[in-house]
Amino acid sequence: MKKIMALVLALILVASLATCGGGATTTGSMDRQRTNVSSGSTPSSAEILLSGDIGGEITISCYDTMQYKAFLEDAARLFEEKYPGTKVNVETFSAMPEIKTSEQGGNKMTMVQMQDDPQGRSDYISKVSTALMSGESADILAMDVLPIQKYIESGQLENLTSYMNTDPDFNRNDYPENVLNAIEYKGGTWFLPMDYAFDYYAYDTTLLPNASGFGTGSAFTVEQLIGLAEDSFDGSSKLFSLSDYTKRSGGMWGTLLNENYTAFVDLENKKANFNDGSFAALLESVKQYSEQGYIPKGATGQADAGAMMQRAGEEAVDRFFFKPKNAFNLISLFTRNLGMRMTIMAEGDTMAIGDDDEIAGIAANADSSVPFTYSQAYGINSNSANKETAWAFLSFLLSEEMQLNTNLSVTALPLNNAAREKKMETTLTSTMGKQGGELNENHLEAIAKYNEAAEQLSGLINAYVLEDATVNDMISSEVQYFFEGTKTADEVASVLQSKVDLYLSE
């Protein structure tokens, strides 16, 4: 999350072709302390004089091996070919996850199971922070789990605003301006995302046949959707496909936490707010939703990929008023009548009936802002000895060529406008090619409708929310005690107030 209190810690990838059937979803969102769209001009920063001489050696460092390694190695090879005399080293930290394949009903499924590793994240953050202080850190840093706000405040990240303004080969018009504006923070742009993602809600038209106000121009919170559907709820179908809580993805709890994150964690002012009763009330509301039958109960706090698939099979004939979806699921929506099913599943997803689903609106935060998340983003170490080559590599990652690289996340949208426009066509062309077919008029119509919907939903984005992975691990660790029944909501809130206060004051 992205959606989502933790990083994407469990992912099931299903790429199947079928004659019918609905799609499942990826939820989640990640890394958030809001920086709203500014209404003024581009923030000022020190002028950068670019010589145009690209050469020498740079190193790029990231935590998530699976998500980054293949993409970065492809980019390094192509960059070195484009700029002879350059060398790009890629350093990754986390272990590769376990990958399993299985076959059900003639469909091959690849399951990638990633184990949550709070200690590993902590070790990596400590390693990078120590290296930054000693002046020996990598030239480029992936922002996946790093405390971005701390590095900005300590001057350890380069302000990229002047690079964007000075480089004649970088054109802001090639990227969505609202997304670039959303990441501005304290007078600058400190990192650039390679892609962006958002969640939207689909609604079942058979359960809400007379719904109004829904569509690609709308944004909703969970509470708003409950208010719209409560009168139609009779207990035969649940309001949301999200379970109350799962340890890895957070379930409904993770979604509500994301909506309200800045109410509890103010990273900019280094303040925590868990003790005023609102955090405990939010926890209790999730339990109440489950008891009322609005949402399913989580399988277990330790649910694994196998349990997820089993539950997905059991829920295949269920209907839900609302289902959280991500940008990739838009492809499923617009290809469902083309004799193919393209599905990305993450923990907490359901394969419930989706043939009658339509777009309700994009997911919003409690203050009505519309956030985005990303799968990859990078900043430049302010002490890098080769900043110009580092910037050249970073901007190369944003080129149309690299933005269409198949090793960049399939669940997110390319930041490059031209690449984003071509993404669905590229995806369908590849799929049809494997079947020995070509795109026809129906496919082209689906592509056009998809692109229109994706751009309209994307146009509503007006915020990015910085999170701190260490704070998130604290929240995740304590909240599980509430859902296991060993601590009250007030007890969890009190512990978090103490822990997060201490951490933010360091």
- Give the model confidence (pLDDT) of 120-146 as tens digits: 888 999 999 999 998 889 999 999 899
Q: What's the burial of 43, exposed, middle or buried (CB within 10 Å: 0-12/13-18/19+)?
A: middle
pTM: 0.85
Give the separation between CA 347 and CA 248, rounded to whole angstroms: 7
HSE-up of residue 149 (Cα within 13 Å, Cβ side): 22
- Looking up tokens 């709203």 gives 36
Residue 117's pLDDT is: 76
Closest CA to 403 of 420, 391, 389: 420
- Looking up tokens 């309700």 gives 360
398 is a domain residue: no
Question: 103 or 66: which carries more pLDDT confidence?
Answer: 66
323 is a domain residue: yes
Length of the chain: 506
Three-class secondary structure of residue 66 per DSSP:
helix
CB atoms within 10 A of CB 298: 22
Give the separation between CA 285 and CA 256, rounded to whole angstroms: 10
76 is a domain residue: no
395 is a domain residue: no
Given 318, 343, 372, the domain boundary residue is 372
CB atoms within 10 A of CB 115: 13
Residues 212 and 343 in one domain: yes
Q: Which residues 6+ apart lie within 8 Å of 286 measured at CB?
A: 244, 245, 251, 252, 253, 256, 295
Give the separation between CA 228 and CA 231, rounded to whole angstroms: 7
Given 308, 343, 372, the domain boundary residue is 372
**% the chain with pLDDT above 70:** 80
* Angle subtended by helix axes 251-264 and 278-291, to nearest 10: 160
CB atoms within 10 A of CB 177: 10
**Beta strand pairing call for 199-204 and 357-363:** antiparallel
Give the separation between CA 337 and CA 19, rounded to whole angstroms: 9
**% the chain with pLDDT above 90:** 67
- What is the band of 28 on the pLDDT scale with cuts at 50, 70, 90? very low
Residues 361 and 476 in one domain: no
Compute φ and ψ for 413, nearest 5 degrees. Answer: -100, 135
Average pLDDT over the chain, rounded to an integer: 84
Residues 358 and 484 in one domain: no
489 is a domain residue: yes
67 is a domain residue: no
**Beta strand pairing call for 343-346 and 11-14:** antiparallel
Residues 205 and 316 in one domain: yes
Residue 104's pLDDT is: 52
Residues 491 and 348 in one domain: no
Closest CA to 63 of 145, 2, 156, 131: 145
Give the separation between CA 221 and CA 78, rounded to whole angstroms: 43
Three-class secondary structure of residue 303 per DSSP:
coil
Given 306, 338, 372, the domain boundary residue is 372
Instruction: Please report, for the domain that includes residue 355, its CATH number.
Output: 3.40.190
Closest CA to 206 of 229, 225, 223: 229
For residue 87, what are the β-bridge partners? 57
Residues 226 and 353 in one domain: yes
- Which residue type occupies 54? I
Task: Indicate the range of 21-30, 67-76, 83-92, 423-432 predicted with least confidence.
Answer: 21-30
Q: At residue 103, does pLDDT exceed 60?
A: no
301 is a domain residue: yes
Give the separation between CA 468 and CA 181, rounded to whole angstroms: 21
CB atoms within 10 A of CB 423: 26
Q: At residue 322, does pLDDT exceed 90?
A: yes
CA 299 to chain centre: 23
Residue 97's pLDDT is: 52
Give the separation between CA 176 and CA 180, rounded to whole angstroms: 7
Asked if 242 contacts 251 with a C-beta cutoff of 8 angstroms, the reply is yes
9 is a domain residue: no
Closest CA to 197 of 395, 30, 400, 398: 30
Residues 366 and 478 in one domain: no
Q: pLDDT (tens digit, 9 = 90+) per residue, 394-431? A: 999 999 999 999 999 888 999 999 999 999 999 888 87
Three-class secondary structure of residue 351 per DSSP:
coil
Here the tokens at position 290 are 């489950």
Give the separation between CA 91 and CA 87, rounded to whole angstroms: 13
CA–CA distances in Å: residue 213 to residues 15, 210, 228, 241, 457: 33, 10, 10, 21, 14
Which residue range(s) make up the domain with 298? 22-27+198-372
**Beta strand pairing call for 265-266 and 271-272:** antiparallel
Q: pLDDT (tens digit, 9 = 90+) per residue, 263-316? A: 999 999 999 999 999 999 999 999 999 999 999 987 544 444 555 555 555 566
How many structural domains is the chain composed of? 2
